[in-house]
Structure 1
Amino acid sequence: MSTTPRRNFLKKAGLAALGTSHVLAEPTRKKELFVHHVFFYLKDPNSAQDEAKLLQGLEKLAKIPAVKLSHIGRPARTSGDAIKKDYSVSWLCFFKNLIEEEIYQTDPVHLAFLDECGPLLEKMVVYDALGQKG
């Protein structure tokens, strides 16, 4: 009885196992994630018209293709010394990476938002963070 077919099988199985272990041993690459969080302070925080215009502008921004996820918010009714509630509206959005965020910054919809809503604002505070998602 010949052992050659068995040896060939074992040899091929061993090579296949080595190839698989290399793939399994390779570290999982995490994807880059860019977070853009803006806090808007209206010049007239009591103006429902100004707030509505700002909210409409943010809803348009959410439709820019580079924006992967967004959230429009107002100060929550929470308490604590570290919690800031002096802003009018917040805009939180996520991008696949820094390049996508840069595309967003130059998008005509974003530029129009700055022209239309900028005059309504006393100031805006921007927090950008670059990290990883699992």
Structure 2
Amino acid sequence: MKKLVLPLLLIFSVTIALAQKKETMQEFDSHFAHVVYFWFKEPDNTIEKAKFEASLKKFMANSKYAKTQYIGTAPKAVRDVVDDSFTYNLIATFASAEDQQKYQEEPAHLVFIEECKHMWEKVIVYDSNGIN
């Protein structure tokens, strides 16, 4: 009986953790996607990267309009069609183009830009409407 308690406790703990994680995850909203690529002036500057990541995560956590968010870095490209020249990218989804416009003007976004604009030399944005 004692041999069963530990495995059952482990299974129970994992099940609870997965259920809680699922509750906090938002489903991808396919109405409007906002994809941003950042090229840093100093892409190897670890101090600037840490500041950028902290500011971007704070912004995303406080955005009233972004439904889902993804923050990434460029992987080492293994195919010619893959552009690995950027430093970071952000993918955020919105219920509508109007919500994305409100996101552009919200204080959390403006603070992020003010804190980080000195770090990047180039930013490219790709917005798209879902074709459901």
Given the two structures, how large is their TM-score scaled by the length of structure 1?
A: 0.72
Match for residue 89 of structure 1?
88
Asked if structure 2 preserves the Cα contact closer than 8 Å seen for 1:66 and 1:104, the reply is yes
Q: Equivalent residues in 2 for 1:1-134 (5 A)?
A: 33-63=31-61, 64-133=63-132
Asked if structure 2 preserves the Cα contact closer than 8 Å seen for 1:57 and 1:117, the reply is yes
Give the counterpart letter for 2:52 in structure 1. Answer: L
TM-superposition CA deviations, 1:4-49 (whole Å, max 9, x none): xxxxxxxxxxxxxxxxxxxxxxxxxxx9711111111111111001
1:32, 1:85 → 2: CA distance? 25
Choose 49-58 or 83-92, whichever is displaced more: 49-58
1:99, 1:119 → 2: CA distance? 28
DSSP-derived class of the 1:116 partner: helix
2:74, 2:38 → 1: CA distance? 11
CA RMSD between the two structures: 1.5
Deviation at 1:132, TM superposition (A): 3.6
1:77, 1:121 → 2: CA distance? 20
Q: Which protein has the larger Cα radius of gyration, Structure 1 or Structure 2? A: 1
Deviation at 1:116, TM superposition (A): 1.0
Asked if structure 1 preserves the Cα contact closer than 8 Å seen for 2:68 and 2:92, the reply is yes
Deviation at 1:115, TM superposition (A): 1.0
Match for residue 4 of structure 1?
none
Sequence identity percentage: 28
TM-superposition CA deviations, 1:59-118 (whole Å, max 9, x none): 022121201000000112341111000011111110111011011000001011111100
Given the two structures, how large is their TM-score scaled by the length of structure 2?
A: 0.73
Choose 106-115 or 70-79, whichever is displaced more: 70-79
Give the counterpart letter for 2:103 in structure 1. Answer: Y
Which 4+ residue blocks in structure 1 deviate beyond 2 angstroms? none
Q: Which consecutive residues of structure 2, in runs of 5 or more, have no partner in the other structure?
A: 1-28
1:82, 1:120 → 2: CA distance? 27
Give the counterpart letter for 2:73 in structure 1. Answer: R
Aligned length: 103
